[in-house]
Amino acid sequence: MHLTLSPIRGLPGQPETVISVAGDVVTIDGVVYDLAPVPEGGRATPAPGAHPFIGAITREAGEIRATIRVVLNDTAAPDQPASPWAVTVTSGPVTIPADRIEEPSA
């Protein structure tokens, strides 16, 4: 699955988005989205409402492509590298490639 992550800064104390992938299924903040019905060369547009997808979801050469809005938590540095961020994952948790605030040395 090819995901484009579009980061936004969360409110103070807000948890960071958690994403995992298993085949054509992506779980975002505990909500399961089965993208298997997206046909080869096809597009699916999520229904209006509360979901983290931005734009259409497509399948190209067998690979799902989607853009997801991700919330960054308090550990994310205020200035981030250029975004959106592209990640490809076939299975497991998705690491959000945000720069983090360095912990002060003791």
What is the DSSP secondary-structure string of 23-67? TTEEEETTEEEE-TTSPTT-EE-PPSSS-SEEEEEEEETTEEEEE
Is pLDDT larger for residue 104 or for residue 61?
61
- How far does the chain reach from its first CA to its final CA, in angstroms? 41
Predicted TM-score (pTM) of the model is: 0.90
- What DSSP designation does 102 have? P
Gap between the Cα atoms of 69 and 93, Å rounded: 16
- Residue 7 is which amino acid? P
Query: If pLDDT is split at 50, 70 and 90, which confidence band does 106 have?
Result: low
What pLDDT does residue 71 have? 97
Supply the pLDDT for residue 83.
Answer: 78
pLDDT at 105: 66
- In terms of Cβ atoms closer than 10 Å to its own Cβ (0-12, 13-18, 19+), residue 83 is middle
Q: In the predicted model, what is the mean pLDDT of residues 57-85?
A: 93
**How much of the chain, in percent, has pLDDT values that exceed 70?**
97
Read off the tokens for 57.
């979801």
